[in-house]
Amino acid sequence: MNLSQMFSQEQKKEELQLEFPLKGFGKDRIKKATPLFLSLENIGKGKVEIKGECELEFTLACDRCLSPVPTRLPLRFERIVYAPGMEIPEEEDDQGFMDEYDLNLELLLEEELQVCWPTKILCHEDCKGICPSCGQNLNEGSCGCDTFVPDIRFANLMDIFKGNE
């Protein structure tokens, strides 16, 4: 996406609606994507503010039991991009998605996606996970394995107490 006109025409504003570019995003995992709304606005010489908004639907694996979890991910971002030769403030230092006057939208989206990626995926709040010895999904019933794992920190503490006796 070439931004040279956006950079040079003060107060120019453009609003676009695009298909979310699925390729390069683990397409198989994205189930659905709403159209991507983009607004570009010249906010001074050589400076363009980019706002984007869309919603993605993924199927991700539960962190504990690995079963598939349908996940909705709203993607919203605001970034300022700079024309070549402009001084870039430190907090916007990372402009790897800009190549001269060209915006690599996919790279930008990838970066923003990482920022808003959920930190934890659970099929439900109290998912019991899988048995560490036999791999049984414990939400579907217990397996009868002896899963008692002594806590090493606690064991060390016990040693200390014993030593003090």
The tokens describing 27, both together, are 């397409």
The distance of closest approach from Cβ of residue 66 to Zn ion in the complex, given in angstroms and rounded to an integer, is 7
* Residue 65 within binding range of Zn ion, rule CB under 5 A: yes
Q: Where are the beta strands (DSSP E) in 109-159?
A: none
The distance of closest approach from Cβ of residue 98 to Zn ion in the complex, given in angstroms and rounded to an integer, is 40
Separation CA 150–CA 152 (nearest Å): 6
- Residue closer to Zn ion, measured from CB, 98 or 127: 127
* Residue 130 within binding range of Zn ion, rule CB under 5 A: no
7 phi, psi to nearest 5 deg: -70, -35
Separation CA 116–CA 76 (nearest Å): 8
Helices and strands in the chain: count of H runs, count of E runs: 3, 7
Separation CA 117–CA 80 (nearest Å): 21
What one-character-per-residue DSSP string does 82-121 give?
E-TT----GGG---TTEETTEE-HHHHHHHHHHHH--S--
- Residue closer to Zn ion, measured from CB, 40 or 127: 127
* Residue 47 within binding range of Zn ion, rule CB under 5 A: no
Among 61, 134, 157, 158, binds Zn ion (CB under 5 A): 134
Separation CA 59–CA 81 (nearest Å): 32
Among 43, 145, 157, 158, binds Zn ion (CB under 5 A): 145
* Residue 123 within binding range of Zn ion, rule CB under 5 A: yes
Per-residue string for binding with Zn ion, 2-41, x by CB under 5 A? ----------------------------------------
* Residue 64 within binding range of Zn ion, rule CB under 5 A: yes
Kindly determine how many residues on this chain lie close enough to bind Zn ion according to the rule CB under 5 A: 11
The distance of closest approach from Cβ of residue 135 to Zn ion in the complex, given in angstroms and rounded to an integer, is 7
Residues forming the site for Zn ion (CB under 5 A): 62, 64-65, 123, 127, 131, 133-134, 136, 143, 145
